[in-house]
Amino acid sequence: MKIKTIISTLVLFFVVGVSLGAERPLIPLPNSYSAKTDGVFKLNSSTAINVVSDTPELKRMASYLKELIKPAAGYSLALSKSNSATKRNTINLKLDKSSASSLPGAYSLDVSSDKIVISAQDARGVFYGIQTLRQLLPPEIEATSPQKINWTIPACVIKDSPRYQHRGAMLDIARHFFEVKDIKTFIDYLAMYKFNILHLHLADDQGWRIEIKSWPKLTEIGGSTAVGGGKGGFLTQKQYVEIVKYAEDRFITIIPEVDMPGHVNAALASYPELNPDNKAKKLYTKIGVGFSTLDTSKPVTYKFVEDVIREISAITPGPYFHIGGDECKKTKREDYKTFVEKVQKIVHKYGKIMIGWHEINAVKLEPTTVKQVWKKKSMEYLVTKKGPLILSPADRVYLDMKCSQAFGHATKLGLHWCGYTNVKKTYDWDPGSADCIMGVEAPLWTETVKNMDDLEMLVFPRLTSISEVAWSAQEGRKWDDFRKRLNVFVKRLDIMDINYYKSLEVWEKH
């Protein structure tokens, strides 16, 4: 080959590689991406998904990938099993124990023109590799009906692993209730961006949302309304188990939270005996906080708390139970301490690790107990102390803060007690690398959020920027690069019919 031909071929490959890379932006950004010079893999109806390591989990991953591709492609890929990843036109899923890396979920993805190999030390890593492959396919792959598209995937090598072990979101189903199918949709959104935790805020002043068999009135009365006086609702234990399984299949752990000793009006309205005067409180449908408390001196309070923790722990395979513990303005300081210490023992009795909002730091805690920090000042303080932390600073990652795009422009939905949070503000945050930091969690409180359209408006696109804070190495993250990727990525959100906030800071310069 003449030198000129070699150069122009190289340039062509480079341009094809790079431009396809840019056309198929990845969120969260992987640790390393290199375009290869051998063109594209063309997925078609004869492509097979080959399981190299014959385990039930990998077979499940193969079926998951097949189902992911089917609606938009209009055909079902064949599944095969072969110990080597050498056949042409195959997508290979492989467990490679030798690739052991620091955190579970690391994977590598190798796309050539004739085959694709996803390998990881565990099925979780293969699952994340599949999510990346999904984003390397044209965005039309998200469509729910067959598309006439060339399903090309740019040849590349990706090596990727998570920054933090805890990459979470929280959904408050107490202020407004969300049905099983909506929670599942939310889980699917989380899985797409490699989150691995869904914290469910199951009870608050306005609603009790989880069936407790030994205290049935909690849901019968306490679950009967919501903010604004709507109809409320609750999850039966069977439905909760269904959600836990759905999440587990997507490598997401559910953390149940029952907030106490404050935020308990729904319980106090359901059972008179939980009140100091034995009179039931009225149901509450406004959005104030800090006005209710359990009576920490009554034995029945601890019977109630233990029943709740026992029943929920029994149907929660994940290691955590979240006791809330925030904003207890009506609980005396000493009573608060006694209460949290007793409850910590109960949580341990039922085999769980306790999590509480950072206010629990006022109490003598076991070394395993996790503090979830929501105030910036407390975060700065607690990072210098011992003990595991989940970081949820309200000014960065509270998804219920209004999303703003420019002065005077913000979402109608959301609160703003902690200011307005634009996409850049969520993105431009380095949570730090102190050992005590388990990771990041983005809460969606639902005082103003009534349905999935509302939820999506506050969640997107900030969930995408937060996924990158939680997953991607800090060195590789640049706002301008992220903004450019999101500009193109948005087509995927459009095809998924997601009601995202069209922030000018991201899309004006498109």
- Residue numbers annotated as active site: 327
Nearer to ligand TNX, 188 or 327 (CB): 327
Cα separation, 345 vs 349, in Å, equals: 6
Window 66 to 105, contacts with ligand TNX (CB under 6 A):
none
Interaction of residue 284 with ligand TNX, rule CB under 6 A:
no
Whether 473 contacts 430, CB under 8 Å: no
Interaction of residue 441 with ligand TNX, rule CB under 6 A:
no
Interaction of residue 271 with ligand TNX, rule CB under 6 A:
no
Site string for ligand TNX, 26-45 (x = CB under 6 A): --------------------
User: Computed from CA positions of residues 424, 427, 429, 430, in that sequence, does the dihedral angle turn out positive or negative?
Assistant: negative
Interaction of residue 326 with ligand TNX, rule CB under 6 A:
yes
Cα separation, 360 vs 340, in Å, equals: 7
Nearer to ligand TNX, 344 or 392 (CB): 392
Residues 191-203 as b or e (16 or more Cβ within 10 Å = b): bbbbbbbbbbbbb
Interaction of residue 400 with ligand TNX, rule CB under 6 A:
yes
Compute the least distance from the CB of residue 292 to ligand TNX, in Å: 11
Whether 134 contacts 189, CB under 8 Å: no
Whether 225 contacts 207, CB under 8 Å: yes
Nearer to ligand TNX, 122 or 447 (CB): 447
Nearer to ligand TNX, 305 or 390 (CB): 390
Compute the least distance from the CB of residue 285 to ligand TNX, in Å: 14
- Contacts of 332 by beta carbon, 8 Å cutoff, 6+ apart: none
Compute the least distance from the CB of residue 241 to ligand TNX, in Å: 26
Strand 197-204 to 409-410 pairing = unpaired
Compute the least distance from the CB of residue 200 to ligand TNX, in Å: 14
Residue type for 54, please?
Answer: D
Which listed residue (149, 157, 241, 289) binds ligand TNX by CB under 6 A? 289
Interaction of residue 357 with ligand TNX, rule CB under 6 A:
yes
Compute the least distance from the CB of residue 279 to ligand TNX, in Å: 25
> Which residue's entry shows tokens 């050498």?
86
Whether 304 contacts 271, CB under 8 Å: yes
3-state secondary structure of 51: strand
Nearer to ligand TNX, 143 or 415 (CB): 415
Compute the least distance from the CB of residue 303 to ligand TNX, in Å: 26
**How open is the CA angle 357-170-256, to the nearest 5 degrees?**
70
Interaction of residue 376 with ligand TNX, rule CB under 6 A:
no
Compute the least distance from the CB of residue 456 to ligand TNX, in Å: 18
Which listed residue (151, 178, 208, 374) binds ligand TNX by CB under 6 A? 374
Interaction of residue 177 with ligand TNX, rule CB under 6 A:
no
Cα separation, 133 vs 116, in Å, equals: 9
Q: Partners of 413 in the beta sheet? A: none
Nearer to ligand TNX, 400 or 456 (CB): 400
Report residue 94: phi and psi, to 5°: -140, 135
Nearer to ligand TNX, 178 or 445 (CB): 445
> Which residue's entry shows tokens 């937060």?
466
Secondary-structure breakdown of the chain: helix, strand, coil percentages, each rounded to the nearest 5:
40, 20, 40
H helices of 250-399, where? 265-270, 299-314, 333-349, 376-382, 394-397
CA distances from 13 to 2, 19, 23, 156 (A): 17, 10, 15, 12
Which listed residue (445, 460, 482, 500) binds ligand TNX by CB under 6 A? 445
Compute the least distance from the CB of residue 437 to ligand TNX, in Å: 18
Cα separation, 379 vs 388, in Å, equals: 12
Nearer to ligand TNX, 142 or 400 (CB): 400
Q: Judging by beta carbons within 10 Å of its beta carbon (0-12, 13-18, 19+), is residue 507 exposed, middle or buried? A: middle
Interaction of residue 415 with ligand TNX, rule CB under 6 A:
yes
How many residues interact with ligand TNX (rule CB under 6 A)?
10
Cα separation, 136 vs 36, in Å, equals: 14
Nearer to ligand TNX, 27 or 442 (CB): 442
Compute the least distance from the CB of residue 445 to ligand TNX, in Å: 3
Strand 151-160 to 32-43 pairing = antiparallel
Cα separation, 96 vs 443, in Å, equals: 35
Q: Which residues here bind ligand TNX, judged by CB under 6 A?
A: 289, 326-327, 357, 374, 398, 400, 415, 445, 447
